[in-house]
Amino acid sequence: MEPIKTEPIKTEALKTESIKTEPAKTESVWTREATIRKREPLPGDMKVPAVVIGAGLAGILTAYYLKQTGIRAVVLEADRIGSGQTKNTTAKITSQHNLIYGRLIRTFGHRMAEHYAEANESAIDEYERLILEKGIDCGFGRRPACLYSRIGTELLERETEAAAALGIKASFGTDCELPFSVAGVTRFENQASFHPLQFLAALAEETEVYEQTKVLKVKDMRAVTARGTVTAEHIVFAAHFPFINVPGYYFARMYQERSYVLALEGTEKPEAMYLGIDPDGLSFRACGNLMLLGGGSHRTGTDKGAGAGRGCRYETLRSRAQEVYPGCHEALRWSAQDCMTLDGLPYIGRFSRRRPNWYVATGFGKWGMTSSMVSARILTALISGQPCPEADIFSPQRRFTAQATKELAVHSAHTAKSLAKHLFPSQNKRIVPNCPHMGCRLERNPDEESYDCPCHGSRFDKDGHLLDGPAQTDCRRRQ
């Protein structure tokens, strides 16, 4: 896809208002440093060419590029711009997505694997082009991205060869900036990082967004909210996890994972970004005077902690931080929630064969920043009728792989186990213990004092208020 010409945004003139955040001890570095101007709710019924559900990075980028092609796109946001998963990222913009390229070549062939590599490499370039042309002050910078292992080199060497065969500038070595010994490192050059909410605040000024406008249902070509109905020729689902169960059946094709981040003071700051491929591997990414240390991933709803009300994920991460950086200080902490697909690739494209004018961008895994740009460019091409050969590898209608079959069995087992718990009494005396999405039994998350669904990842606070979808409503209080 050819870059779209743009005009500069005058960021110095923006009026701003702080995004609502959690208490400081669990605040991300991005919400601490960024402000986004408040928008009004939907004023009533309207008819437009396109409606985008969700004002995170994927939704705002999609609306922006549609506007550049002459297509008016209205964005409907249930809360505030950037108030969902965008604010919880570690903000790496990279084509290095763990050990993926060797598997892609084996599973889908060289051509489709090349499309994946090209789409993600182009996304990095497009971020840079957009930021420079518009003069957006968001800390964008090029830096290497590295995979490391402390126990072996074979997987890294294979991944290096596969990535290089697909045109990525990749190399293998043993040099590493991290303060511990490693067996090997795979290094991708010319990757990037930035401040996502500062970028989002600027770009959102060129889009038509209505906040506090939750889409309650989508019927045919109508997005229905409590404030009015938007009728559109094209509907884009960009709100993390699709809340429509049929068609598409995304609830059966994805699950969600939680992961945790500590922002540390008093550490060395590597030039490159690092991700460990070992079972206990950590993520490292310098951010100003802070080191972002990530890890502790687990399927949502399966973290029962250490018992007696004590969580363990943050404590484990703190312990690892002191091992790596003795004497470091924890400045901030936060967590993220990621949609994981059965074959490890995002679903970007037409929502379902039964709904050719519905589109979806979901299942980004741990790579939401790059995948948001990939999504915006693919969906814009599909809606505007432009050629987009790389859409094949991301299509929600792509073929079912052997890996996906195995993951489906695991996912189905989690769902069956959670549904079976209906037969047993719940210890939760505050709220009805079953998720309003599809009825799965909620599990307590002691790290975050929440109740999480192990089936599809919906989350609720201790009083039953909705924190994360795909559920659309709060849990009912006990009578």
Sequence-distant (6+) residues with CB within 8 A of 318 are 262, 330
Percent of the chain with pLDDT over 70: 91
DSSP state of 422: G
Range with the poorest average pLDDT among 194-208, 211-225, 238-252, 410-424: 410-424
- 25 pLDDT tier (thresholds 50, 70, 90): low
CATH class, 1-156+186-256+342-399 region: alpha beta
| Residue 134, H or E segment | helix 110-134
Q: How far is CA 280 from CA 133, 275, 296, 300, 316, in A?
A: 41, 11, 8, 18, 11
Contact indicator for 16, 36 with CB cutoff of 8 Å: yes
Ramachandran class of 217: left when φ > 0, alpha when ψ lies in -120 to 50, beta otherwise: beta
Residue carrying structure tokens 């209906």: 422
The whole-number average pLDDT for the span 276-300 is: 95
Residues 351-380: b if buried by 16+ CB within 10 A, e if exposed: bbeebebbbbbbbbbbbbbbbbbbbbbbbb
In this structure, the strands spanning 228-237 and 46-53 are parallel
The whole-number average pLDDT for the span 318-335 is: 96
The whole-number average pLDDT for the span 95-110 is: 97
What is the rounded distance in angstroms from the CA atom of residue 182 to the CA atom of residue 343? 29
Contact indicator for 294, 265 with CB cutoff of 8 Å: no
Write out the residue limits of the CATH 3.50.50.60 domain(s) in the chain.
Answer: 1-156+186-256+342-399
pTM for the whole thing? 0.90
Half-sphere exposure of 92 (CA within 13 A, CB side): 29
pLDDT tens-digit profile of 393-449? 999 999 888 887 888 787 777 677 777 776 666 777 678 788 999 989 998 888 888
pLDDT at 133: 97
In this structure, the strands spanning 355-362 and 228-237 are parallel
What is the rounded distance in angstroms from the CA atom of residue 171 to the CA atom of residue 437? 45
pLDDT at 423: 62
The whole-number average pLDDT for the span 83-103 is: 96
- 1 pLDDT tier (thresholds 50, 70, 90): low
- 325 pLDDT tier (thresholds 50, 70, 90): very high
10 vs 349, residue with greater confidence: 349
pLDDT at 422: 65
The overall average pLDDT reported for the chain is: 90
Q: Does the pLDDT at position 308 exceed 60?
A: no
Q: Does the pLDDT at position 279 exceed 50?
A: yes
Q: Which amino acid is at 220?
A: D
> In the numeric block, which tokens belong to residue 250?
């995304």
pLDDT at 311: 53
